[in-house]
Structure 1
Amino acid sequence: MLYHTPLDAPALRTLGIPEPWGFGLADRVRFGELDALGHVNNAAYLTWFESFRLPYLAARRITDYSPESPRLVLRRTACDYLAELFAGQDYVVTGRTRAFRRTSFTMEFAVWLPAAAGAARCTTTGEAIVVLLNWTGTGRHPIPEAGRRAFLELDGALDESA
């Protein structure tokens, strides 16, 4: 399995991850991500979602992370924990934009135990609302048109800007 390399829809399907997920990143649980009970600490999932957002938002042409790009600020995050993960397990984080407005968008995430054959098992779901700000910090920054098109065409996101 390729770690830290964007996975497209066909690659996700071979791992048993269903539609509508079309972008993912694989990794392996590290010892430092465990809590006293020996399973992945709840806070690690938010870090995984953040690590996912970096290449996802570059691929969707929202930002290239240059000084001229908009600042990305989390307004809200949430997680639902469905099953435990343990040290050494391979997992895949998937994400997509569900809806967007003029200067913000709502993402949803899932963490999967991939399957060699059959369906992958979803262990965690999450959500984040991301707001774009001007680099100077004064005022909001509109979502770039290329990003809006990518949200619509690649993620099937709902345009709520009207």
Structure 2
Amino acid sequence: MTLPFLTPLDVPTLRAQGVPAPFVFGQADRVRFHELDVLDHVNNARYLSWFETFRIAYLRAYGISDYAGERPVLVLKSVSVDYNAPLHLDDAYIVAGRTRAFRNTSWTMEYGVFAGGRLCASSEAVIVLMESDFVTRKRLPARYTRAFIDRDGARFEG
């Protein structure tokens, strides 16, 4: 099966490609030469770029920001990545993600990178919504939390 790259995939396609529940949003791409390190596998820093590319598509699809007009001020507070299996030149992969939990001013996303039905990397990130001064935290709008709950099954962590 040929997957469309950098296009949101529907749930049946995700499941057919080995992406498990609870992930309902993902997009495919392929490994490019500039993403490799001297060991001929994807450099660990590239995964962070992949997660960022995914996150922008996710925020657009969930109605949080279209990045065309006024954009929310989002700060990546923390991120961790576990590497399970290497990816190589031209490997097709899917980055899937969801919001697992949210608080008053932040949310926790989890990501998985899947190829050939196997989990190659997993990650968790905390994103904080800020005022335009980049100092003051801003309360998450109800439309954010509704999208997180309705689409991802996220829970509030008070």
- Report the equivalent of 1:145: 142
Aligned length: 156
Matches within 5 A, 1:39-54: 39-54=41-56
Contact 2:18/2:114 (CA < 8 Å) preserved in 1? Answer: no
Q: What is the rounded CA distance, in whole Å, between the counterparts of 2:45 and 2:97 in structure 1?
A: 18
Contact 1:62/1:144, CA 8 A, preserved across alignment: no
Q: CA deviation at 1:140?
A: 1.8
Aligned match for 1:124, one of 106, 121, 124: 121
Q: Show structure 2 runs of 5+ residues with no match.
A: none
Q: How much does 1:14 deviate?
A: 1.9
TM score, norm. by length of structure 1: 0.91
8 A Cα contact 2:84 2:119, kept in partner: yes
Counterpart of 2:34? 32
Aligned-pair CA distance for 1:62? 2.3
| TM-aligned CA distance change 1:18 to 1:125, over 3 Å | same
Q: Once the 2 structures are TM-superposed, how far is the Cα of residue 67 of structure 1 from its aligned partner?
A: 5.0
- Pairing 1:80-99 to 2, within 5 Å after superposition: 80-99=82-101
1: CA distance between counterparts of 2:77 and 2:47? 17
Does residue 156 (structure 1) correspond to residue 153 (structure 2)? The answer is yes
Q: CA RMSD in A?
A: 1.3
Residue by residue over 1:78-127, the C-alpha shift from the partner in whole angstroms, topping out at 9 and shown as x without a partner, is 1000011000100000000010011100000000003xxxxx11000001
Distance apart, 1:66 and its partner CA: 4.6
Counterpart contact for 1:60–1:146, Cα < 8 Å = no
Tell me which amino acid in the other structure corresponds to 1:77: V
Q: TM-score, normalised by structure 2?
A: 0.93
Picking from 131, 135, 144, the partner of 1:134 is: 131
- Partners of 1:29 and 1:14 lie apart in 2 by 20
Rounded to whole Å, the distance in 2 between the matches of 1:127 and 1:18 is 16
Q: Percent identity?
A: 50
Q: Which amino acid aligns with 2:151?
A: L
Which 5+ residue runs of structure 1 have no aligned equivalent? Answer: 115-119
Q: Which SS does the other structure have where 1:57 is aligned?
A: helix
CA–CA separation in structure 1 for the residues paired with 2:132 and 2:70: 7
